[in-house]
Amino acid sequence: MLAVAHNDTPETRRALYDSMFETWFLVPTRDPAPDETPGFHDIREDTAGTFSLEQDSSGQWVAVAFTDEEALRNWNKIILWIAMHGITFFQAVSSTEAEEIVINPFEPADPNSKMIRPGGRVTRWEIEALAEGRHPGDSPEEPAEAQSVLVSMPKHMPSAEIFKGLAGAAKAFPQVIAMYFAQLIYPAGHPHKAVAVEFVPDVTDEQIEPAMVALEKEARRLFPRKETTDLLLASSTLGQSIANSGEKFYSLKK
């Protein structure tokens, strides 16, 4: 996280994501004290429902996690916690209402509390990708098992209001020049709705991230919750297929 803060490049971000897959996160929980003795115990399936979600200064709900117990106690002296590993942690957070994960926060209201570990934020867009075991920006299920994905158009298209809402969100980011819609059919599982986002050729990671976060948030608000919706970069392999075979519903007017 410190390397990304000092020099945010595709290489440092990839190294960060790789390390997150291997990390054990200490996650505060609002559970009452367990009857069992301290040590390793099986985690319940509904553990995510006990996470200590907090509201940040902007009022949005965030999950908090720590890289060691000293950092956690710098934030809260008595709260209980559990340890969760890599992808399992991101999968759990993705099932909650958290918009972001804040890593190694400290309590600014306490004059005795100071930052003792580097920290940072993981956006919802990144959480969804990491929960699938892929780096944000990479296409889903690609190319781990070389599964064939059929790009098609659904029998019933989303409403015009959905496309209008996504287009409205994209207008705030001039680096977004086009968006495309299609349906993805995998060899197993339900079809996914998919949106490929095309950026200007010389776009940087610093410009991509806020745009993808905003579009992901808008997509989750607009599309029915029961539908799985993938947001992809048009520059990825699967994103290119969506751009070639899908329907363009947004184009930046010059």
Average pLDDT over residues 89-100: 88
Per-residue pLDDT band for 174 (boundaries 50, 70, 90) equals very high
Chain-wide mean pLDDT for the chain? 84
Residues 123 and 16 in one domain: yes
Q: d(Cα 132, Cα 135) in Å, to the nearest integer?
A: 9
**Extended strands (E) in the chain:** 24-29, 54-55, 61-65, 80-85, 100-103, 120-123, 150-152, 176-185, 192-199, 229-233, 247-251
Residues 57 and 116 in one domain: yes
What CATH number does the domain containing 247 carry? 3.30.70
Query: Does position 144 have pLDDT exceeding 50, yes or no?
Result: no
Residues 127 and 215 in one domain: no
58: its two tokens: 């902007």
What pLDDT is stored for residue 161 in this prediction?
A: 94
- At residue 247's C-alpha, the angle toward residues 181 and 158, to 5°, is 55
Residues 94 and 31 in one domain: yes
Provide the residue range defining the domain that includes 209: 150-251
pLDDT in tens, 197-245: 999 998 988 889 899 989 988 988 898 877 778 888 998 888 888 999 9
Query: Does position 36 have pLDDT exceeding 80, yes or no?
Result: no
Residues 164 and 112 in one domain: no
Residues 121 and 154 in one domain: no
Assess contact for 163 and 178: CB atoms under 8 A: no
pLDDT in tens, 101-114: 999 988 765 666 68
Residues 237 and 173 in one domain: yes
What CATH number does the domain containing 113 carry? 3.40.1350.90
pLDDT > 70: percent of the chain: 84
Cβ neighbours of residue 16 closer than 8 Å, sequence gap 6 or more: 1, 3, 4
Residues 108 and 161 in one domain: no
